[in-house]
Structure 1
């Protein structure tokens, strides 16, 4: 009876081992099957498995599916539990994975953190919404593990610090996985630094070639810049000539002009037109005793000298002060003002560069107003010969004195020598800011005359 009992025990242990192997094979195949369903989220079950992986690792659920499938294949083939020979490599892989989860979560939820939201709760609600809809659509970053790690790092060292910690975790994990010692790591870093330095410096010949290419590119860039300036200058001058209708004389026109000037005058007296003498208006004679006296000829001797009192007044023979009546000169209706063509025109100064500066100054002004808490905007800019006038419209409730008080700050922001305020502009609900131009354009008297409107009744009014 005792021998039968021993045989029965040996048979039971063997069966148990076979059952354990079959169980491991079945579990491994089941893991592989679940991984395939989750990787491709096939049907309801595949979507549910994928969302389960997403709860753990977020957007890395496919990586977790592959890892689970690899573990299932190991169980099915080896029929034994996976045993890691080096715990250091396992820790290294985990650290690299944690760093990746932090980066994924920081990229997705950085704006949400700025709104003071709960990262953990937001991630969970997003995952729960996909689970209820049986979908895999929302971007959940690093899942719940990523939310926990990112929430902690953001609270401790802010957004940039979270990225730094994630990179450090990945570097430390790579170092642990490589199983290098600290001494070997230092040696590898020194070798890599030397290679990088040699790569950057190169041989003297290559360095000279790089310097030559750099100088050539700089020369080409400078030439292109000069050509662009010449083209802009030519365009401005063409516009000025077209505006002023300036056209150089041809050789034929010059020769014809010289012949016309050298030819004798050829005219007939009948062709001349004369104005009758009665057409002119007689001017009144000056009153007083000196009016009747004719001027002395050049050869005659002057008359007796006049007497002058202490006040410098002229006295007559009786010792009385002479009084003169000066009548107002009558208007000569036949006088015509000369044409403005008699005046020389001055070439206009190139102020094309001022337009770009005006756009920059508009942005600087609005930025300055915003930095000092003044709600105002630039509505118009007028380029003048010497200054540019910016018209600023303040918002309702903004005091004019608040803008005027920023005169020095505006001058500093614009890097201008002086800034003049016109607050407000007469006839407008705007404030004027005058800023000196870099290029001053000269204004000729001819331009002033031609720019004035016609006054038929007031010909001499400017």
Structure 2
């Protein structure tokens, strides 16, 4: 007999969506049938509605149809604050009570409800009979009229109506200040003043742009070249404004500049055509911040809740038995100790022991292997002594591991959405306390561990935490994924400052662009008289008339450092050193991960400049020392079990990392990408134009261009490797020179394994 095919989560979800779709369509159909009283079924539906909600049923039919259609078109629109649905309920109650005022004035309370029950058969059978406010209205009106009399009911209707309209028209303005506090809100007059100033500045900007265009018209006309001359100079579509453009150029300004530049643009290269075809991505300078006023961070409902509780009776029973056995084993070795406390964490139980005063701590550490055998556990870690306590900690694995869900950690943390911090849900410690860290205080992080230890899940939890708290104009991400599979869900999120980079050489160049951005920010801080990004953004908010633009944080996440070090070790190390030493005040933070924590990957310079570190399970104590400067990581269990040592702390903390499933990551990333598309900085699109020693260069303006052209004409052969050897430059710069020579007609295109043709003879003078 054939086995029944197991259903996947995707198929179950698909079936659920089909059922919901069918139910919505059926309800819409029944609403239309009842609205127009089509046949016997229509009469039954309409009469039933009249009995329940009163005489006027058409508004409720319309409300039902609109809500169902909205759910079919935009399901995410239903994930509103509960206060919105409270407004709908209050408005419906107001209308129903208003209809109920037609009841006999002499009837209140229970007699009124009894009278309505007697009238139900008449109302159901006779469409012309007055249904008043229906059964709902009769119950509400009867209760309120008994308590408050008829005049009190009228006041209630008026109050309900005002509250409902206030909620439905301006829910954010009315209720968000109450929940967030008056300090995070602005008065109506302040907002009105800001809008007037913004409108005024926009008009001044338009006037100045018009004046600039008028003044430069003759110059532009004089410099207009013919089509034959233009074909010799190829202008790329994506302009390099990373260094030359003003730091505070707005998005509208940049688009105007691009529009003027492309008005007389020459034929495009293949690479530029591919970039231009991608209409899903906009290229702007890193300082041009798009408008994300309508963007909403993904809700916590997209994350899975904790199932089965956070406590296990099996772990509790096992911990008590292990504690008794532990004390007995220590006595066998002549160690007298008292059990102080037991902490049962998600994956590990920690026993706190206080040895007698005549017992050496080293004696307990020396019998670690004996304790493992006597307690029958696969691993055991001794913390001797526990920092800040006169006790020794012995950690053993739990019988049952309880996963830590990100939603639970966030809900148990106060002020997780702090706008002044980049908070990340890391996990829970052995006490069950949620561990939430701030990237601002780290300020850089090294994550290392063997394959399958939980490193990738940790990286996903960091990115997901950022997506749940920060808008794209508040924080930008640069993701480096040499394996090409780890950051796939994030390729379309609007927080990206550039495409997800998978080429190690391009990643090395991207780090140099980040260094350039850091230098530009410090120049801006110097001009504006501030010391860090926090003070700068406060000044932007306090003095909008100066025309400054808010700077977003930039978080660089490198998934595998080993690949980068193998390709361009010295350049990568230098860039990481500069970023980690200087970038904190500029709002740039670096997170580096590797599954090969050897000294040739995590060098002394890198480790010395990254103060915060996370170590997952590793294979040897040598690797543990490379990461943490101490042993212990070789005793971890894997599956998210980590040792976290923040900046300034002498000892690591054992943490069970949060578990974020692939479905949760996909839902959060999808919700973010559905609201906006990524706006890439042009410097990260043109990484092939970045030289390893001189930053961003244009091949036509490269000082080596004329010399390279003379060399190629003289030798009558051309290749990238030839230019690399001759001029001692990197691959990217040499390749750009070859492309420029081809575009100007000096050499021919690549022809497989055959050498390129050189069209210019040595005796000719090349213009």
TM-score range, shorter chain: 0.3 to 0.5
**As a proportion of its length, which structure holds more strand?**
2
**As a proportion of its length, which structure holds more helix?**
1
Please report the TM-score for the alignment, with normalisation by the length of structure 1: 0.34
Please report the TM-score for the alignment, with normalisation by the length of structure 2: 0.21
Query: Looking at both structures, which has the greater relative contact order when contacts are Cα pairs under 8 Å and sequence separation is at least 6?
Result: 2
